[in-house]
Amino acid sequence: MDALGIDIGGSGIKGAPVDVRAGELSAERLRVVTPRPAEPGPVADAVAGIVRHFGWTGPVGVTFPGVVVDGVVRTAANMHEAWVGVDAGALFGGATVLNDADAAGTAEMTYGKGRGQRGVVLMLTFGTGIGSALFVDGVLVPNTELGHLKLHGADAEHRASDRAREEHDLSWPDWAARVEEYLRHVEMLFTPSLIVIGGGVSKKADKFLPHIHLDTPVIPAALRNQAGIIGAARSAVHGE
Ligand code: BGC
């Protein structure tokens, strides 16, 4: 069955129809720039534009980069604060809405590197922020917000996200050192059996993963930055 998956990020909004059985895009994705300020109205217009572009009338799943409970946005660290309290499911015309990292992690557990992995598996996405998705025997614990763990008195995502790498003009080894410190902290707290690195930066894994040394295996996501779209579409069909 096909569903339309839409992934809302701090810089771009990406959508594509997805073959949910195979976990693959069934048409070329469309990307539009996230409106600034990223207020609910303009973002909803962009989402509606993507739905129209594909002439879509079937199920739609949408990711949001914040805490989402029953379709209602609770936090929006990298979007406009006007989102807090908004029923995004209703705003997006009855779409299924879930946290972006939870969507990406679910896709990775279903179709990618996490398939069949038992125990505690952690997916961490490095982009504008740091997103987290925690799985126990393949079951998601939704809305973990491990990007906001404090490191040196500041949100970890302000030091170690991909945006922090760009803003502070860090070399790959320097950024990798920050990521390693963050991963060690997370490892100490959760003792995962596997850490999967996702987000846009996962396609450049060869530049930073060789610099990261941890007891826990750390691997790049298989679905790269399509995981959010695929996970969103999947949740529109199967629920979380
Ligand atoms: C948000 C998370 C989100 C992550 C990645 C964080 O700032 O609080 O909900 O998953 O960014 O977009």
Q: In the chain, how many domains are there?
A: 2
| Nearest by Cα to 113 from 201, 13, 197, 35 | 197
pLDDT tens figures, 24-48:
999 999 999 999 999 999 999 999 9
Residue 240 confidence (pLDDT): 62
Amino acid symbol at 6: I
Query: Domain of 73: which CATH number?
Result: 3.30.420.40
Say if residue 64 is in the same domain as residue 127: no
pLDDT tens figures, 184-225:
999 999 999 999 999 989 889 999 999 999 999 999 999 987
| Nearest by Cα to 24 from 8, 2, 57, 51 | 2
DSSP 34: P
Q: Is the pLDDT of residue 105 over 90?
A: yes
Say if residue 207 is in the same domain as residue 230: no
Distance (Å, rounded) from C-alpha 219 to C-alpha 198? 9
Pocket perturbation via mutation, ligand 1, pick of 75, 145, 163 by most ligand atoms within 8 A of CB: 145
Say if residue 153 is in the same domain as residue 163: yes
Give CA torsion, residues 195, 197, 137, 106, to 10 deg: 170
Ligand 1 lining (C-beta closer than 6 Å)? 65-67, 75, 77-78, 99-101, 125, 127-129, 131, 145, 147, 157
Per-residue burial over 83-97, b if 16 or more Cβ lie within 10 Å, else e, is: beebebbebbeebbb
Say if residue 161 is in the same domain as residue 115: yes
| Nearest by Cα to 216 from 124, 116, 105, 111 | 124
Q: Whose CA is nearest to atom 8 of ligand 1?
A: 66
Calculate how far, in angstroms, residue 146's C-alpha sits from the geometric centre of ligand 1: 9
Distance (Å, rounded) from C-alpha 233 to C-alpha 5? 4
Say if residue 210 is in the same domain as residue 159: yes
Count of other CB atoms within 10 angstroms of residue 239: 9
Say if residue 81 is in the same domain as residue 163: no
User: What pTM did the predictor assign?
Assistant: 0.97
Say if residue 214 is in the same domain as residue 128: yes
Domain extent at residue 179: 104-225
Say if residue 118 is in the same domain as residue 220: yes
Say if residue 111 is in the same domain as residue 76: no
